[in-house]
Amino acid sequence: MTQDEVLAEFRDAGALLHGHFILSSGLRSPVFLQKMFIFQDPVRTERLCRALAEKAEAAFGKIDYVVSPAVGGIVPGYETARQLGAKAVFVEREDGKFQLRRGFTIPEDAKVLMVEDIVTTGLSSRECLASIAEHTKNVVGAACLIDRSNGKADLGVKLVALCKLDIPAYPADALPPELAALPPVKPGSRAIQGVKG
Ligand SMILES: O=P(O)(O)OC[C@H]1O[C@H](OP(=O)(O)OP(=O)(O)O)[C@H](O)[C@@H]1O
Ligand SMILES: O=C(O)c1cc(=O)[nH]c(=O)[nH]1
Ligand SMILES: [Mg+2]
Protein backbone atom coordinates (compact mmCIF):
# COMPACT_ATOMS: atom_id res chain seq x y z
CA MET A 1 0.00 0.00 0.00
CA THR A 2 1.49 3.38 -0.97
CA GLN A 3 1.49 6.46 1.27
CA ASP A 4 -1.07 8.07 -1.07
CA GLU A 5 -3.36 5.02 -0.79
CA VAL A 6 -3.18 5.16 3.02
CA LEU A 7 -3.97 8.87 3.03
CA ALA A 8 -6.84 8.28 0.58
CA GLU A 9 -8.36 5.79 3.07
CA PHE A 10 -8.31 8.49 5.78
CA ARG A 11 -9.70 11.10 3.36
CA ASP A 12 -12.47 8.80 2.07
CA ALA A 13 -13.44 7.86 5.64
CA GLY A 14 -13.76 11.56 6.57
CA ALA A 15 -10.96 11.02 9.07
CA LEU A 16 -8.71 13.86 7.88
CA LEU A 17 -9.97 16.82 9.94
CA HIS A 18 -9.00 20.49 9.79
CA GLY A 19 -9.43 22.98 12.63
CA HIS A 20 -7.65 23.65 15.94
CA PHE A 21 -6.92 20.47 17.89
CA ILE A 22 -5.36 19.86 21.30
CA LEU A 23 -3.31 16.70 20.89
CA SER A 24 -2.60 14.05 23.50
CA SER A 25 0.85 15.62 24.08
CA GLY A 26 -0.73 19.04 24.73
CA LEU A 27 0.62 20.35 21.43
CA ARG A 28 -1.80 22.13 19.08
CA SER A 29 -2.32 21.27 15.42
CA PRO A 30 -4.47 22.40 12.48
CA VAL A 31 -4.84 18.75 11.38
CA PHE A 32 -6.28 15.75 13.24
CA LEU A 33 -6.53 12.16 12.02
CA GLN A 34 -9.76 10.84 13.55
CA LYS A 35 -8.77 7.19 13.40
CA MET A 36 -12.14 6.10 14.82
CA PHE A 37 -13.72 7.03 11.46
CA ILE A 38 -11.41 4.38 10.00
CA PHE A 39 -12.04 1.82 12.73
CA GLN A 40 -15.83 2.07 12.44
CA ASP A 41 -15.43 0.40 9.04
CA PRO A 42 -14.10 -3.16 9.47
CA VAL A 43 -13.31 -3.56 5.75
CA ARG A 44 -11.21 -0.40 5.62
CA THR A 45 -9.53 -1.34 8.91
CA GLU A 46 -8.70 -4.80 7.56
CA ARG A 47 -7.13 -3.32 4.40
CA LEU A 48 -4.89 -0.97 6.39
CA CYS A 49 -3.92 -3.47 9.07
CA ARG A 50 -3.16 -6.21 6.54
CA ALA A 51 -0.68 -3.85 4.89
CA LEU A 52 0.75 -2.90 8.30
CA ALA A 53 1.10 -6.56 9.29
CA GLU A 54 2.96 -7.33 6.04
CA LYS A 55 5.34 -4.42 6.61
CA ALA A 56 5.92 -5.34 10.27
CA GLU A 57 6.55 -9.02 9.47
CA ALA A 58 9.02 -8.05 6.74
CA ALA A 59 10.90 -5.86 9.23
CA PHE A 60 10.72 -7.99 12.38
CA GLY A 61 9.95 -11.56 11.34
CA LYS A 62 7.44 -13.79 13.14
CA ILE A 63 5.44 -12.00 15.84
CA ASP A 64 3.56 -13.83 18.60
CA TYR A 65 1.96 -11.02 20.57
CA VAL A 66 0.72 -7.55 19.71
CA VAL A 67 0.40 -5.07 22.58
CA SER A 68 -1.38 -1.76 22.04
CA PRO A 69 -2.21 1.33 24.10
CA ALA A 70 -5.94 1.91 24.76
CA VAL A 71 -8.14 3.38 23.48
CA GLY A 72 -6.95 4.15 19.95
CA GLY A 73 -4.57 1.20 19.68
CA ILE A 74 -7.09 -1.52 20.55
CA VAL A 75 -8.78 -1.98 17.16
CA PRO A 76 -5.65 -1.74 14.96
CA GLY A 77 -3.76 -3.91 17.47
CA TYR A 78 -6.43 -6.61 17.25
CA GLU A 79 -6.72 -6.53 13.47
CA THR A 80 -2.96 -6.41 12.89
CA ALA A 81 -2.57 -9.37 15.26
CA ARG A 82 -5.30 -11.24 13.35
CA GLN A 83 -3.38 -10.68 10.10
CA LEU A 84 -0.13 -11.84 11.75
CA GLY A 85 -1.67 -14.93 13.34
CA ALA A 86 -0.68 -13.44 16.71
CA LYS A 87 -2.48 -12.72 20.00
CA ALA A 88 -3.66 -9.20 20.81
CA VAL A 89 -3.66 -7.62 24.26
CA PHE A 90 -3.76 -3.98 25.33
CA VAL A 91 -2.59 -1.72 28.13
CA GLU A 92 -4.96 0.85 29.59
CA ARG A 93 -4.54 3.75 31.99
CA GLU A 94 -4.91 3.21 35.74
CA ASP A 95 -4.18 6.34 37.77
CA GLY A 96 -2.82 7.82 34.55
CA LYS A 97 -0.30 5.01 33.92
CA PHE A 98 -0.59 2.30 31.24
CA GLN A 99 -1.04 -1.13 32.81
CA LEU A 100 -1.71 -4.64 31.55
CA ARG A 101 -5.05 -5.38 33.27
CA ARG A 102 -7.97 -7.83 33.01
CA GLY A 103 -5.66 -10.77 33.74
CA PHE A 104 -3.77 -10.34 30.44
CA THR A 105 -0.29 -11.90 30.48
CA ILE A 106 2.57 -11.99 27.96
CA PRO A 107 4.45 -15.33 27.79
CA GLU A 108 8.17 -14.90 28.47
CA ASP A 109 9.28 -16.40 25.13
CA ALA A 110 6.71 -14.53 22.97
CA LYS A 111 8.03 -12.08 20.36
CA VAL A 112 6.14 -8.85 20.99
CA LEU A 113 5.21 -6.02 18.62
CA MET A 114 3.82 -2.75 19.97
CA VAL A 115 1.08 -1.45 17.65
CA GLU A 116 -0.10 2.17 17.84
CA ASP A 117 -2.65 3.95 15.68
CA ILE A 118 -1.04 7.38 15.30
CA VAL A 119 2.41 8.58 16.44
CA THR A 120 2.86 12.32 16.99
CA THR A 121 5.55 12.86 19.65
CA GLY A 122 5.81 9.15 20.48
CA LEU A 123 4.85 9.81 24.12
CA SER A 124 1.99 7.27 24.27
CA SER A 125 4.08 4.68 22.43
CA ARG A 126 7.01 5.14 24.82
CA GLU A 127 4.66 4.84 27.81
CA CYS A 128 3.15 1.69 26.31
CA LEU A 129 6.63 0.21 25.70
CA ALA A 130 7.64 1.06 29.30
CA SER A 131 4.59 -0.79 30.54
CA ILE A 132 5.37 -3.82 28.34
CA ALA A 133 8.97 -3.79 29.67
CA GLU A 134 7.58 -4.60 33.13
CA HIS A 135 6.50 -7.98 31.70
CA THR A 136 9.01 -8.96 28.99
CA LYS A 137 12.31 -7.98 27.37
CA ASN A 138 11.22 -9.64 24.11
CA VAL A 139 9.95 -6.58 22.18
CA VAL A 140 11.02 -6.75 18.52
CA GLY A 141 9.79 -3.28 17.56
CA ALA A 142 6.82 -1.01 16.97
CA ALA A 143 4.36 -0.34 14.17
CA CYS A 144 1.78 2.36 13.51
CA LEU A 145 -0.64 3.36 10.80
CA ILE A 146 0.50 6.98 10.60
CA ASP A 147 3.66 8.61 11.91
CA ARG A 148 2.86 12.35 11.97
CA SER A 149 6.46 13.10 13.05
CA ASN A 150 7.80 11.88 9.72
CA GLY A 151 10.33 9.64 11.45
CA LYS A 152 11.43 12.17 14.10
CA ALA A 153 9.70 10.54 17.09
CA ASP A 154 12.18 8.32 18.97
CA LEU A 155 10.53 5.28 20.58
CA GLY A 156 13.81 3.61 21.57
CA VAL A 157 12.91 0.71 19.23
CA LYS A 158 12.52 0.61 15.44
CA LEU A 159 9.18 2.00 14.28
CA VAL A 160 7.52 0.76 11.08
CA ALA A 161 4.86 3.20 9.81
CA LEU A 162 2.39 2.53 7.01
CA CYS A 163 2.50 6.24 6.19
CA LYS A 164 4.85 9.02 7.31
CA LEU A 165 3.62 12.60 7.28
CA ASP A 166 5.09 15.91 8.40
CA ILE A 167 2.11 17.57 10.11
CA PRO A 168 2.78 20.77 12.07
CA ALA A 169 2.21 20.83 15.84
CA TYR A 170 2.84 23.85 18.08
CA PRO A 171 3.21 24.56 21.82
CA ALA A 172 0.07 26.33 23.15
CA ASP A 173 2.04 29.58 23.66
CA ALA A 174 3.46 29.65 20.12
CA LEU A 175 0.40 29.36 17.89
CA PRO A 176 0.32 30.89 14.42
CA PRO A 177 -2.44 33.58 14.34
CA GLU A 178 -4.73 31.61 11.99
CA LEU A 179 -4.73 28.70 14.46
CA ALA A 180 -5.16 30.93 17.55
CA ALA A 181 -8.27 32.40 15.88
CA LEU A 182 -10.08 29.02 15.99
CA PRO A 183 -11.67 27.52 19.13
CA PRO A 184 -9.62 24.48 20.25
CA VAL A 185 -11.10 20.99 20.61
CA LYS A 186 -9.52 17.96 22.33
CA PRO A 187 -10.63 14.68 20.74
CA GLY A 188 -8.32 12.17 22.55
CA SER A 189 -8.69 10.32 25.88
CA ARG A 190 -5.49 11.36 27.71
CA ALA A 191 -6.14 13.77 30.60
CA ILE A 192 -4.24 17.03 30.14
CA GLN A 193 -3.90 19.32 33.17
CA GLY A 194 -5.96 22.47 32.79
CA VAL A 195 -7.70 21.21 29.61
CA LYS A 196 -11.29 19.97 29.61
CA GLY A 197 -11.50 16.74 27.60
O1 LIG B 1 2.64 10.26 19.93
P2 LIG B 1 1.78 10.99 20.89
O3 LIG B 1 2.18 12.43 21.07
O4 LIG B 1 1.66 10.28 22.21
O5 LIG B 1 0.31 11.08 20.26
C6 LIG B 1 -0.32 9.99 19.67
C7 LIG B 1 -1.28 9.32 20.64
O8 LIG B 1 -2.43 10.17 20.79
C9 LIG B 1 -3.60 9.42 20.58
O10 LIG B 1 -4.03 8.82 21.79
P11 LIG B 1 -4.79 9.63 22.91
O12 LIG B 1 -3.91 9.75 24.12
O13 LIG B 1 -5.33 10.90 22.36
O14 LIG B 1 -6.00 8.72 23.32
P15 LIG B 1 -6.83 7.64 22.48
O16 LIG B 1 -5.90 6.55 22.14
O17 LIG B 1 -7.84 7.21 23.46
O18 LIG B 1 -7.42 8.33 21.29
C19 LIG B 1 -3.20 8.33 19.62
O20 LIG B 1 -4.08 7.22 19.76
C21 LIG B 1 -1.81 7.99 20.10
O22 LIG B 1 -1.86 7.06 21.15
O1 LIG C 1 -1.32 13.51 18.73
C2 LIG C 1 -2.48 13.11 18.92
O3 LIG C 1 -3.03 13.13 20.02
C4 LIG C 1 -3.30 12.62 17.77
C5 LIG C 1 -3.14 13.10 16.52
C6 LIG C 1 -3.96 12.62 15.50
O7 LIG C 1 -3.88 13.03 14.33
N8 LIG C 1 -4.88 11.69 15.77
C9 LIG C 1 -5.01 11.22 17.00
O10 LIG C 1 -5.90 10.37 17.22
N11 LIG C 1 -4.22 11.68 18.00
MG1 LIG D 1 -3.84 6.58 21.82
At a CB cut-off of 8 Å and minimum separation 6, what does 137 contact? none
| C-beta separation of 139 from 157 below 8 A | yes
Tell me how far CA of residue 123 lies from CA of 24, 144, 153, 186, in angstroms. Answer: 9, 13, 9, 17
CA distance 192 to 197: 8
Ligand 1 pocket, residue 188 CB under 6 Å: yes
Domain ranges of the chain: 49-166
Ligand 2 pocket, residue 15 CB under 6 Å: no
The answer, as to whether pTM is greater than 0.80, is yes
Which atom of ligand 1 is found nearest the CA of 122?
Answer: 1
Q: Which helix (H) or strand (E) is 132 found in, with range? A: helix 123-133
Ligand 1 pocket, residue 144 CB under 6 Å: no
The conformation of residue 114, written as its DSSP 8-state character, comes to E
ipTM: 0.98
> Is domain 49-166 annotated with CATH 3.40.50.300?
no
| Ligand 2 centroid to residue 109 C-alpha, Å | 33
Tell me how far CA of residue 190 lies from CA of 95, 96, 148, 158, in angstroms. Answer: 11, 8, 18, 24
30-61 tens-digit pLDDT: 999 999 999 999 999 999 999 999 999 999 99
pLDDT above 90: percentage of residues in the chain: 94
